[in-house]
Structures are given as structure tokens and as C-alpha cells.
Structure 1
Amino acid sequence: MLSALPVFSVNSVTHRLAPLTLAVTLALTTSTASAAAATPADTTARDIQRWPVLTSAVPVDARLEQRLEKILAGMTPEQKIAQMIQPEIRDITVEDMRKYGFGSYLNGGGSFPANNKHATPADWIKLAETMYQASIDASQDGSSIPTMWGTDAVHGHNNVIGATIFPHNIGLGAARDARLIEQIARATAVEVRATGIDWIFAPTVAVPQDDRWGRTYEGYAEDPALVRDYAAAIVRGLQGEPGGKFLTDHHVISTVKHFLGDGGTEGGVDQGDNIASEQQLIDIHAQGYVGGLQAGAQTVMASFNSWHGEKNHGSQYLLTQVLKQRFGFDGLVVGDWNGHGQIPGCTNENCAQAVNAGLDIYMVPTAAWKPLYHNLLAQLKSGEIAQSRVDDAVRRILRVKLRAGLFDRPGPAKRALSGKLELIGAAQHRAVARDAVRKSLVLLKNNQSLLPISPKAKILLTGPAADDIGLQSGGWTISWQGTGNVNSDFPGGSSIYQGFASQVKAAGGQVMLSKDGSFQQKPDVAVVVFGEEPYAEGNGDIDNLEFQRGNKTALSLLKSLKQQGIPVVSVFLSGRPLWVNPELNQSDAFVAAWLPGSEGAGIADVLLKTADGKVQYDFHGKLSYSWPAQPTQFKVNLNDAQTPLLPYGFGLSYASKDRGPLSKALPEQAAGGNGAHEPLLLFERAAKAPWQFWLRSGSQMAPVSANVQTLGDMQFKSIDRRVQE
């Protein structure tokens, strides 16, 4: 029967064709991965006394606590458990909210009101208002406790068409400007509030230690001290100043995440195992929480990763003893996307272990919310979950809601900023974002002082990302992976080409756009914009830092231009430092632009002179991550024994007399190597009966029966590239 079915085969990988979007990642397993998986757990005894004692800037309010206790005393077990359930907008209805009275709900990446990517701000407000009114309707659940909506606004209000998209955190780390970070946070809070949303899942305070990790760009730096300072600044910007204007209508509830050690997993594997010592966990990975919690952050998100084999969602030591007791945190702890289901013995539908460990809210963004609710209720009544633990969780949830004024404010549609559409992508917010772009750029090379360029010159803008706001914005931009976006999805934004075009044309120069590098008139200089394709979370994990390994289309373009005698400026877009020695050698100037967001015109501000030949803006950025000397130099961080190509803090300026190590040719032969193969990405469709996906490796063949499956030396992973998983 097998031979009668149509088969599509790629490099010994076989699957059957079928309808609906699916992204498939195929990669050969490596000895490195096997070794990491076999690493024995550290048996070093834990010592709670090692951890710092923290004091939040938010004081205890006796009257608020009395009000809280009165509300709690009147709640039923059903109402308490409902406060601990956080479903997703695609999996609940307004009637579900009315019946159960969920304490909160969320929209994940790629999730929109009515599942409409182009939902207007008015659509977001309408959904927020409808859910709020259902939550305070006591007709079915007997409760009038207001719900709250959480969203991933991680570089601006990045789910909403027309919002200001700021540079990703890796670029902000290069800017070295905590005041700027606070301005960005304030602007983000205002745009989020204008759509009726109360709570954002930011900032990420990971300290990435292995650049193979697909979330490296979400970390500000490899330096814990910078992350600590930035965490405090962004929390102040989002929430306001405790004791002053705190959690007003212009602010949102912030979340420091992901607790703890997500940036230090073995092999840079997303959701993997961190085997750092306890002191390393404190000194490196906890510093963002020191800054964020002392500034008054009201929520913390648990991390998917493990510490020495124990999943953080189930770690009573980390969530309760360290975070709540030693750090003195009195806000709430929310889980990550079905993260509780990864605890051994748990499923998405059944997990008493998480709440017993210290989790207060289960993020359960699937239909699993309903059985989870009923199971938690049964476990509370049976005593498997202590009444005191549930009361503590609900007390924390109510405390945050009271501090945020949710019991006293009108519904989202009637709040101070709701419906003020002029705040979405406001000119003053875009000005802050453009300033952030300018300050985030790091000049790695500038031979013969090619930069800055005269705007009166004949300039070729080329490369796949020269005129693509989606590519320059990266993951977590409108969609989860940041894919499938076009320039019209960013009204008010500017591509890198558009920024050059406006200034060059105004000065009387000539700018040409060509994705493939072709031209009719030979340019004076070519600006080539290239880099990584957008990705998010584990889909961005790689096993080698070589850029475009085996498919060097950008290098071919650079070589072609150089062979024609055209000076080349490379603008490199990436979510991490990568080994680009061949590309560096073919560039007269090289700029690390990271993922600048919607205000690409900020790049022209720095790379172009004024019409009268003066510098507009000098380079300000310094590397917030060490730049690798080899593709296999995965972990090269501050104060370790390795020698990077470019150290943490490197960055030229127009005034620099020392041209740096890149003024001479670099070796292009990659030393070492781990024998790993490049993952093969196949974008196909989900299998629907009677069709089925099959894997074939050599003589072995098997039907795909799991989202992650291994057959011989091949590993298969399926994901939905459009919607967060």
C-alpha cells in the first residue's frame, strides 16, 4: 500500500503531501548533543544563604492588604482556581470568561482579535472591554473580580499593526544607555495602554552565554551588570516610580523573565538544562532580577529550562525559597506557555506539582485549560494542593490587581488612553526608536574612512534586506517568528533603503535599489544589507556560528561588487554575533546593525554625511556580546579564557585613530568544527487523513508520530511557523 501513495523525498527525508501550513526542521543528531544530554546532574549542595536579600521599591500598603484579605475571604474554591488559570484568546469565548471568571488571559505571538493579523487598535480595545465586562459579571460564577490581559510586547507593542517597533534587546545593549531604555519602556507602555491591555511579558533579563541559542537577541548583553541596570530602567519605565506615579493609566504591569538561567543552557538549547553552579546562577543569571525586582516589578515568569535536571516550573527551591522568600518578592509568578506540562509526571491538563512548587498562574494557551481547571479544583478539595498554597497564589494575584488599580478603574474602553489612535506609532515614539537605532549601530570596520558617505554620491542599496522592514525587525514582530510580513504591515515605518532615499534625493545625489546588485550606472559605493532570516525561540537554535554555512549568497553578492571595483559597505542584520570572516574581508566597511525595528531611517542618519559634508551622527554602539573568532567559538564571554575576534565593548567611531583588527585580511578557513550538519527547513503543510508524514533514513522508514522524533541519525521537529507554540 505504501508504494501507491505519492511521496516527496529530500536528502533521505520522506513525507506525504497534505494541506495546512507546517514548518519542518530536519537535522542530523550530533555527538555534542548526545554528550550534553548525558551530562550528570551536579550534586553540589544548595545554600540559600548565598542568595542576596532584596527589598522592593514598592512598599507594603496596610489598607490595600486589608482590602485584599476581605476579597479573598469571600471567594469560593472555584473562584480561586479560576484566578490561577490563564487561557489564550483563541481558546476561550466571552461566555467562558463569564462562566469561569479567569484571573487573566493572553494573546500569544501571532494571535490577534478574531484571528485577524490586521485587527485595528479599536478591535483590540473591543475584545479587552468585552472580556473585562464578562469577568465582572457575577451572574454565573458569582465573582466580580476584574480580569487582566497579558501580551508579549518585547520590542514595542509588536503584535499590533502600526505600532512603533523598537530595536531588539541585543541592539539596545550595544547602545549602553539606560535613560534611553526607560524612554522606550514609557513609549511601549503608552501604546499598549492605548489598546486596552494591562500587562506585558517584558523585560527579558536573560544573560545569554552561548550564542547558538535562538533567543540570544532577547538578551541585552553577556554582561550581568548591564542587564541588571537595564532591568531596573525598563521596569521603571513600564510601571512608573513606586511612591510617585506608579501603575497609572500611562503604565503597564511588567514581568521580569524567565526565572531562572534560560540564557545558560548546555549547548545553547532553548528550554534545555543549565548546569551552572549555584554561585554562577547568582552572579550571572540572577542579576537582572536584582535590578528588576528592586525597581518594583510586579510579576515574574517562570522559565522553561531546567537547573541540573529539575524543571524550573516545578522547582520549589527557586520559585519559593529563592524568589519569594529570599528575594522577598510579593507579586505573582506566572508560568510560560504550557511550561508546567514539561514537569516530570505532569501534563498540560494535570499538574499539581507546579502550584506546590510556587507557581501562581498557569499559562495554558490551549483547550487544556478546562481539564486543568477541574483537576486543580479536585486536587485542592482532596488536599493534594494545600488550601494555604492556593490562598497565597490568589493573594498575590489580587495584590497585583489592586496595585494596578483594576478594581477601581472603568473598563478598558473608558480608560484614559484607550482609543487614542494617535498614540499608536506616535511621532515622538518613532523619534525615540530612531534614536535607539542610531545608538545601537556598531562599526566593526571602516577602511579608508569609507564612512560616512556623501549624500551627493551615486549610491546602490542592495541585498535581500535593503528594502524589507520585516527582515530588519526580526522575530516577535506581528507574527511569532516574524515571518510573512511586508512593508505595508508597518505603516509609518521606514526601510533602510527608504531612509537613504529621502536624504540622498534631498541632497541632490542618486540612490538606486537592486536586490541582486545589478545596476545600469556604476555606483560610487554600494550599501549591502543582509543577515539572518527572522526566527524566534527554539526555531532559532543553531549548532554552529558560521553565517550562511554552505549557501553563501551574501558573500557572492559582495564579491561580485568588489570585482567590479565598487567600494562596499555591509550592513549586517542579526540576532547574535556570527562568524562572518569571508564577508568581512569583502567589505570595506562593516556595520553590525542587529535587528533595528521599524525605524530603518536611523541607519542612514549615521552612515550619511550632511549635504555640506559634516558628520550627522557618529557611531555610539559598543558590542554587547563578544564576536567569535571561529564558527565553533560558541561560548566566549566576559572574563573567560577565550580570545574572541572582537571583544565585548569593541566599536569604532569616525574619530577612531586605531582601525582595529579588521583592517587586515582575516583567515577564512574555519578551524575545528563539530561535524554537525546544517538544519534543513521545509515549509510544507500539516498532514490530514488519509495522508501521513514519513521519515526515511537509509533503510529505515517510519511514520511521523510526534512533534519531535528521531530516526537513525536524523531528527525531525514540526512547528507552526505562524502561531506561537
Structure 2
Amino acid sequence: MNRPIFNSVSLLFTLIILISSCSQQENTTATENSGNLVNPQDWPSITPIPLDPEIEAQIDSILPKLTLEQKVGQVIQADNGSVTPEEVKQYRLGSVLSGGNSAPGPLPYADTKSWLEMADKYYYASIDPEGVEIAIPTIWGIDAVHGHANLKGAIVFPHNVGLGAMNNPDLIEKIAAITAQELTVSGHDWTFAPTLAVPQDLRWGRSYEGFSENPEIVKSYADRIVYGLQGHIGQDDFMGEGRVISSAKHFLADGATEKGVDQGDAQISEKELINVHAAGYYSAIPAGVQTVMASFSSWQGRKLHGDKEFLTDILKGRLGFNGFVVGDWNGHGQVPGCNNTDCAQSLNAGLDMYMAPDSWKGVYESTLKHVKEGTIPMSRLDDAVRRILRVKIASGIFTKGAPSTRKNAGDESLLGLPQNRAIARQAVRESMVLLKNNNSTLPIDPTKTILVIGDGAESISKASGGWTLSWQGTGHTNDEFPNGESILDGIKEAVNGAGGKVIFSESGDTTIDADLVIAIYGEDPYAEFQGDKENLDFVPNNFDVSKLAEFQSKDMPVVSVFLSGRPLWCNPEINQSDAFIAAWLPGSEGGGVSDLLFQRDSSFDFTGRLPFSWPSSAVVTEDAEPLFKLGYGLTYNTTKVIDQLSEDSGLENTEVKSTGEFFSKGIAVAPWGLWFKSGDLAKQIASFPTSFGGLIISKTDHMAQEDALKIKWTNSSQEQIRISTAQPSDMARQANGAMELTFSAKSFTEGKALVQIAMCDSNNSCDKTLEINIEAGDWQEYRISLSCFENLGVDMTKISSAFMITAEEGIDIGLSNIRLESDLDAKPGCDGK
């Protein structure tokens, strides 16, 4: 009786096995044939660092005591510009961060006292035991990407592009240790560094955060930075005095996006992911890096913030990472099916802590709801909290007391220590790359009369770049760098000490005679979004580089010190220079530049080598031969002569793209144009003054002659002025990146002028507006967060009109300098203030 049944079961199992086998074969075939499927088994296998039994036992005792609400709070990080200490206590948030422009007080940076006072408030709020069985201390993170550059008085080191050029792992560890020490002065627990991107397209605005296009350099630095920040895991210095938690970022391939678009898509093979872009993690994870930040970007269309195979199967599985994964600034909101306040997909994929700077409350509520409903399994939440607790306990946060009571806290004598500044100055020397030295122009005789020109000579801010005192790093004066030295001051010190003479003319007065000219110029500071470029052409700003040729024509040798976050096509400037130095973004120790200009010590020489290939054209193409190859660099004694270079940029037939400026110096900035709009009728404005329907538009003066519009509405039909483009522009990244629509305006009539402002997508007719009151009297700046338009339902991926303004009869206003800028106070505003 049982025999036939047994045979039937056997047959059933056989069929299941066969079906399973076929299914596996189909999946294998699909994996092999589909470009966007990954094979975790192809990734290197890293043995996880053994877990500390005492820490795991402590976690086992804590987890049962936490309420569900506490657990959800632990997986959320809010920005200090959008959360109060009382809210940290109420929601039991796991972490607070300070974004690039978020600091206590009115400025985007702060002094030690202000940072510590805020740190204490968050800490004490988090450990308040009211209403809970056990309270978990919060940890405070900040981007100290080239020194603790949001702390007044801290050392600003060269950006990573320069540190990659020096290729000195021993020195990079010392730099990381100094950064960690200065972070402990202000009470911070955590820095979002090191950046382990391997940039492959220099149009990316964050290229300077990458050490090199060579993954071996990145790998050689990753573990040493982790050691410098955290100490050595398993040894006495791990997370000891003067140490902070580090974060390897951004996992993965943020430096490989198509056309270098920030937060874009890396359309590369899995093999390239493994061999190139993951290289830094192969040394950072065994070194004990405690956190890893997920990338905004995608791989072949797969958003990394929501990708379980990458975050869980590969990072936590194959690579053996047992710390926690933190998100990037609202990066979870870009996962398909998610928004900034609701994304169960990210946590389920392996994200352990949402970086929800201004969206934290919505994320808390939605995550709590998802766990209660089972959308997020309790086991996944517990795993995330366990990982966060593991890092917190290991960091000593449970035992080392309030930030102000810890070793180093508030000790400003530790900022800019002479021995630490000497290390920064050494890094400047070793990072500079000599590209040209015709006629042995360098080193310079300091007894001569030296004319110094260019807008980078005196400005520490320009020499430091983005992520310095503020997110974009613009608009800062030298008195905001109390422990810094400009490049000009370093030159004066060298020349005056040798009996020579320095003449400084920022604009480059060509009537001045001197023995030699040092020109210091280059890119203005920028960070992501604003730093992205459509091509690699160097566009001079605030300095007329054509004057270099005039000096050469007077037999005055020209030495160019080029400040930039990446190699750029600047053949005309190289041609007009007898010596040309890629100085990158050297930071606050400008004296390091003069050390090599004048060879202030006989042991000094140019040892920096290109960490990225130098372009031969402004147009980026895959098969282009570089002008100077990776690893290129001259010394004083190199006899190589650089002949006249081609000055054909290759841009003659390329399409013009948006730069983030819409109306500047009295004209619309290509590809944007200025238009009238009345009902269904539209007309481009070609000359001034002009009128259309109930509008009269002419020019007026703001900062310069006729650099602004004067707009008057003469009837009540509310005609519009628009700044539009034929091809819609994708501004989703800018909206997510806390950018603001910024403009200057004034009312020419008494009292306030009420106007309606809009951004328009290609699907609507600009009917969703915000009301702004324009003040009479002096010109004032008005700022509207792009998120305000997004919240109105505007599709930020298809912006056809970057600016629309309309008003009632009698309104008469001036309007100028319409552009995108970063949010200065990280507080979204929709009223223009």
C-alpha cells in the first residue's frame, strides 16, 4: 500500500529538483546576459573582524529594554538645522549631523564654544531617562573632508586630489589623526570620511574629493586614514583620546557616473566595480572602518540606497562589513517608489541609518508604521539597531560623558598647533605637480623683484575650495582663517627675508616692471551640483589671463600657480607661462607653495605626480590621448621643454548647457532665454526697452550699468516674464541638494510689491506660484528653496522655465542676478527670506 505513495513522492521530489535546476540555469543565464544583475560570489571574500563578545553581550541586554519607538529613532539621523535637543529626546534619534552649512549661530561654521554648547545639549537630551527604561546617547557627525573645516581656527589641509598627487600613505595617516584631534575639540563624534571614490570623469563636481583615478592609490590610503581617525582596532588607541568614528563613502561607484553627473548612473561592468571602484573598501573594512555611507548614485539604473544585493549581500556579506550603513542626504528619497519621508525599501535593502536631515520626522512616522504593519520585519530593524549600538559602544559614547567633559574638548590651543601646521605645509609641498618649467624658470631667485598677480594670491578661501567654512566654500575672507596663511603671505615671507621685493597687483597691472611674474588663479570654490561641468574647459573668473602674454612680451618670465579641484583644459594659460604648477586646492598653509617656488630648503623639490590624466581637449571622449599622463610630473632638474600647445579646445560645435545661472549682467545665460507670456501668446525679448500686452520692460542699474531688468505691470491681466529653455532641464538633484532659487530685487513704488514666483515644468502652465513681497528702497536678495516648488507638484526633472514672475497692475520692480545657490542656513524657506 505504501509503495506506490513512496514512488509518487519520489517522482514529485524529482520533478521539483528538475524544475529548480532549470530555474537556476535560467537565472544563471539571465545573470550572464543581463548587464544590471550582480554576482555576489564573484566579489572578493573578506573575513569579518571578530565581534567583541562583551559588546555583543551588552547589546543583548540593551535591545529587549528598547521600545519600538526607540528602535525606530535609532535608525534616523537629523540635521542640526532642522532638529532641536527636545526633539532628539522625544523621538530618541540615533544621530545628529551638521550639513555643510549647518552650524550653531548665524554662520555656516562656528567657534569651539558654540559647537560644544550645542553638542552638550543634544547629548544630554539623548540620555535623559524620562519615559524609557534605558536611554541611548546620540552621536554627532560632520563632513571633515580636508580637515575640520567648519571649525574656526582648524587646519584646512589640501583637498584629496592634491593628497593623491603626493602619494604618501604615512603622511595621510598623520593628516587624518590631526583632523580627528581637532574634531574632538568641538565635541564631534564622527566624520564622514574617507571618500573612496575613484573618479573617472573629471566633469564630476566632486572630483577633488577623490584621491586618484588609480584604484591602487585609493586602496593604499583607505586603511591609513581609518587608522588615523579611529586608531587600530583591537589595540589601546582604538577610539581612544583624540579619535573619532570614520565613514567610508560613497558605496559604490559615485566616481563612475555617466558624464560625471553627480548622483547619476554608473553604466559600467560589474568587473569594473570590483576591480576599480571597490578598491578602497578592500583595505578600509579590514582596518575596522565603523560606518559606510551609501551612494546617491546608481549602477546601471539601480539606486544604491535601495539595493539589497550591494548593501547586504556584497558589503555586509562578501566584504565582511559588520558596522552600520548610513545614507546620504535624503538619498533614500531617490529610490523608486520612495520619497524623502517614506522609504521602507532602503532599510529592507540594508541601510541601517537614514540620513534624513530635514525629513526626519516623516521618516520616523512612516518607518514606525511600516514596522507595525510588517513591511519592515522586526528582525531587520533589530539588526540595524544592533549594528548602530555596536559602533556606539565601541566608540566609548556610553562611558566618556558629555562632549564638553571629554579629553581635548574646548582646548583651542590644540587648533593649528605648529607641528600640525608643519605637516599640512609638507602636504602642500608634496602635492604640487610641476607641469612645465621651460628655461629652468624654477626655482625663483628670491632676491629679485617679484610681481604677484591673480585673485588666488591673497585669498585663502579660493586656495581651499569647497567644503571650507561652508558647503560651497564661497564668500569667505582671510580673517575667518585665524590659523591660516595665504599664498601671497608665504611669498612675501620668502622674498622679504632674502632681500628681494614683492609687488602685488591682483588685477595684473601690465604697466608694472619686475624681474618675474607669479600668477595665482584658477577655479572658484564649489561643491557638488555647482561643481558639475559639461566640459573641461577652464573658464577664467575674476582674473584676465590674457595679461600673461603681455608680461611675456616684455621679457618678464611668468610662473602660473593654477588652483583647481581637477585637471582642466588650459592650454592657452600653459602656453603663456614659462612655468606652470598644478597646485590643486592647497588649503590654509599657503607657505607650502612658496617653499617650492623659491626652493626654501635645499632638500625641497617637486615630488608630486599627477593623480589624474591631464586633458588634451576640453571635450571629454573615451579615446582621447591625455596631454600629460597619470603619474606625470617634473622636478627642478628635468630638462623637458613644453612646446607650443594647440589652443583648439574642441568646443566649437558642442551644445551649450545650463550652469545654474539664469540671468546675469543684464542678459539671460545660455541656454536660457527671456520671454514675455500673455495667455497663449509668447514672445522672446530681443531688445530694450520693449512692451507686450500690459508689461513694460527696460534696463536699470543694480551692481553695474544696465545689469538689471525694470518690469512694470500696467493692467490687471498678470502678464508673465519667464526665463525659459527649449530643452527642459533636470533639477531634481539640485532640489534634493538644498539649492535655492536666488535673485535680487527692489520695488520702485512705495511700500511692498506683491509678486508671484514660479518654476514651471514642461507639463504645466506656471499656475502654481509662491507669493513674495519685494521691499522698496535698497536692493535685497530673495531666496526660495527648490523644494518649495517641488512641494507644489512641479516636476523638477523637467524644468522648462527656471523663473516666472507676474504681478497685478501698478507693480513696478527691479530684478537682477537670477541663479541657483546653496541653502545658507539649511532651513527651507518659501517666502523669499
TM-score by length of 2: 0.77
> Contact conserved, 1:211 with 1:634, CA < 8 A, in 2?
no
1:594 CA drift (Å):
0.2
Which whole-Å CA distance do the structure 2 matches of 1:711 and 1:98 have between them? 40
Partner of 2:354: 362
Partners of 1:554 and 1:331 in 2: CA distance: 51
Q: Distance in 2 between matches of 1:48 and 1:401?
A: 29
SS of 1:538 mapped into structure 2 = coil
The answer (yes or no) to whether the contact 1:270–1:538 under 8 Å persists in 2 is yes
Displacement after TM superposition at 1:154 (Å):
0.2
- Aligned to 1:137, what secondary structure does the other structure show? coil
Shift of 1:463: 0.5
**Equivalent residue in structure 1 for 2:587, among 575, 583, 597:** 597
Residues 1:658 and 2:640 aligned together: yes
Whether contact under 8 Å (1:109, 1:723) holds in the other structure is: no
CA distance in 2, matches of 1:433, 1:589: 24
- Out of 71, 81, 84, the residue aligned to residue 72 of structure 2 is 81
Q: 2:99: which partner in 1?
A: 108
Q: Which amino acid aligns with 1:328?
A: G
Take 1:629 and 1:443, find their aligned partners in 2: how far apart are those partners?
17
Residue deviations 1:280-338 (CA, integer Å, cap 9, x gap): 11111100111111111000000000111111000011001000111111100000000
- 1:676 Cα deviation from its structure 2 partner: 2.2
Q: Secondary structure at the match of 1:470?
A: helix
**Matching residue within 296, 301, 308 for 1:304:** 296
Work out which of the residue numbers 469, 479, 494 in structure 1 matches 2:485: 494
Counterpart residue number, 1:556: 546
Q: CA deviation at 1:130?
A: 1.4
Would the aligned equivalents of 1:455 and 1:609 in 2 still touch at CA under 8 Å? no
Write 1 or 2 for the structure with the bigger share of strand. 2
- In the other structure, the counterpart of 2:755 is 690
Match of 2:317 among 302, 322, 325: 325
CA drift at 1:691: 3.2
- Give CA-to-partner distance per residue, 1:656-707, whole Å, 9 cap, x none: 2334xxx21011112366622154425833999633146799xx98878458
Rounded to whole Å, the distance in 2 between the matches of 1:485 and 1:509 is: 30
Q: Distance between the aligned counterparts of 2:442 and 2:410, measured in 1?
A: 44
How far apart in 1 are the matches of 2:744 and 2:757?
9
Report whether the alignment pairs 1:532 with 2:523: yes
Task: Tell me if 1:510 matches 2:488.
Answer: no
Report the alpha carbon displacement of residue 114 of structure 1 after superposing the two structures with TM.
2.9
Say if 1:495 and 1:601, in contact at 8 Å, map to a contact too. Answer: yes
Q: Supply the distance in 1 between the matched residues of 2:158 and 2:228 (Cα, whole angstroms).
A: 16
CA shift at 1:560, angstroms? 2.5
SS of 1:591's equivalent in the other structure is strand
Q: 1:721 to 1:669 in 2, by over 3 A?
A: farther
Q: Paired residue for 1:249, among 241, 246, 249?
A: 241
Compute the displacement of 1:555 (Å): 2.6
Amino acid at match of 2:287: A
Where do 1:704-723 residues align within 5 Å?
705-706=789-790, 708=796, 710=798, 718-720=820-822, 722=824
Instruction: Indicate the structure (1 or 2) with the bigger Cα radius of gyration.
Output: 2
**Residue identity in the other structure for 1:310:** R
- Is the 1:472–1:597 contact (alpha carbons within 8 Å) kept by the matching residues of 2? yes
Q: Closer, same or farther in 2 for the Cα pair 1:719/1:517, shift >3 Å?
A: closer
**Contact kept in structure 1, 2:148 and 2:183, CA below 8 Å:** yes
Whole-angstrom CA distance in 1 between matches of 2:499 and 2:756: 60
> Is the Cα–Cα contact under 8 Å of residues 573 and 592 in structure 1 kept in the other structure?
yes
Report the CA distance shift for 1:205/1:103 in structure 2 as closer, same or farther (over 3 A): same
Residue 344 of structure 1 deviates from its aligned partner by 1.1
> Which structure would you say has the larger RCO, counting Cα contacts within 8 Å and 6 or more residues apart?
1
What is the CA-CA distance between 1:147 and the residue it aligns to? 0.7
The alpha-carbon deviation at position 118 of structure 1 amounts to 5.6
1:633 alignment counterpart: 620
Aligned length: 669
Q: Which amino acid aligns with 2:553?
A: Q
Q: Deviations over 1:17-66 (max 9, x none)?
A: xxxxxxxxxxxxxxxxxxxxxxxx9535421111011135x432111111
Q: How far apart are residue 243 of structure 1 and its match?
A: 1.9
Residue by residue over 1:474-514, the C-alpha shift from the partner in whole angstroms, topping out at 9 and shown as x without a partner, is: 00001100011111110120111000001111111000111
Q: Secondary structure at the match of 1:690?
A: strand
On the 8 A contact 1:42/1:308 being kept in 2, the answer is no
Once the two structures are TM-superposed, the CA of residue 582 in structure 1 deviates from its matched residue by 0.7
2:786 alignment partner in structure 1: none
Partner of 2:682: none
Query: Where in structure 2 are there 5+ consecutive unaligned residues?
Result: 1-32, 665-741, 746-752, 770-788, 804-817, 829-833
SS where residue 692 of structure 1 aligns?
A: strand
Report the equivalent of 1:570.
560
User: For residue 692 of structure 1, what is the amino acid of its counterpart?
Assistant: I
- 1:5 maps to which residue? none
How far did residue 420 of structure 1 move?
1.1
Cα deviation for residue 711 of structure 1 reads 5.5
Partner AA of 1:402 in structure 2? I
Match of 1:63 among 54, 65, 68: 54
Q: Map Cα deviations across residues 446-489 of structure 1 (whole Å, 9 max, x no partner).
A: 01101111111100110111100000000000110001111111
In 1, the alpha carbon distance for the partners of 2:248 and 2:109 equals 29
Aligned twin of 2:607: 620
Residues 165 and 136 (structure 1 numbering): CA distance in 2 closer, same or farther, change over 3 Å?
same
Match in the other structure for 2:142: 151
For residues 318 and 104 of structure 1, do their structure 2 counterparts lie closer, same or farther at Cα, with a shift above 3 Å needed?
same
Shift of the alpha carbon at 1:139?
Answer: 0.9
Distance 1:545 1:642 in 2: 13
1:10-159 superposed matches below 5 A = 43=35, 45-56=37-48, 58-117=49-108, 119-159=110-150
Q: Distance in 2 between matches of 1:140 and 1:512?
A: 68
Letter in 2 for 1:651: G
Q: CA RMSD in A?
A: 2.4
Q: Please give the per-residue CA displacement for 1:351-394, whole angstroms capped at 9, x wherever unaligned.
A: 1111000000011111x211211111111011010000000000
Paired residue type of 2:297 = N
Which one of 453, 459, 474 corresponds to residue 483 of structure 1? 474
Q: Tell me, yes or no, if the aligned pair for 2:759 and 2:801 is still in contact at 8 Å.
A: no
Which residue of structure 1 aligns with residue 215 of structure 2? 224
Please tell me whether the aligned partners of residues 238 and 251 of structure 1 are also in contact (alpha carbons under 8 angstroms).
yes
**Paired residues for 1:197-208 under 5 Å:** 197-208=188-199
What pairs up with 1:248-327 in 2 under 5 angstroms? 248-327=240-319
- 8 Å contact kept, 1:79–1:143: no
3-state SS in 1 of match to 2:447: coil
The DSSP-based 3-state class of the residue aligned with 1:390 is helix
* TM-fit CA distance, 1:126: 1.2
Deviations 1:542-591 (A, max 9, x none): 11111117x79543121232233211000000011101111110000000
Asked if the contact 2:455/2:542 (under 8 Å) is kept, the reply is no
Gaps spanning 5+ residues in structure 1: where?
A: 1-40, 636-640
Query: Residues 140, 592 of structure 1: CA spacing in aligned structure 2 closer, same or farther, 3 A cutoff?
Result: same
Quote the Cα distance in structure 2 between the aligned partners of 1:658 and 1:169: 28
Q: 2:626 aligns with which of 631, 637, 644?
A: 644
AA of the residue aligned to 1:524: D
- C-alpha distance in structure 2 between counterparts of 1:722 and 1:460, whole Å: 37
Q: 1:354 to 1:136 in 2, by over 3 A?
A: same
Counterpart residue identity of residue 164, structure 2: G
User: SS of 2:105's equivalent?
Assistant: helix
Q: Is the 8 A contact 1:340 1:354 kept in 2?
A: yes
Match of 2:153 among 135, 146, 162: 162
Taking the aligned partners of 1:692 and 1:43, their CA distance within structure 2 comes to 44
Q: Which range is displaced more, 674-683 or 101-110? A: 674-683
SS in 2 for 1:86: strand
Does structure 1 retain, via aligned residues, the 8 Å contact 2:549–2:576? yes
AA partner of residue 650 (structure 1): Y
Amino acid at match of 1:567: P
TM-score (norm 1): 0.88
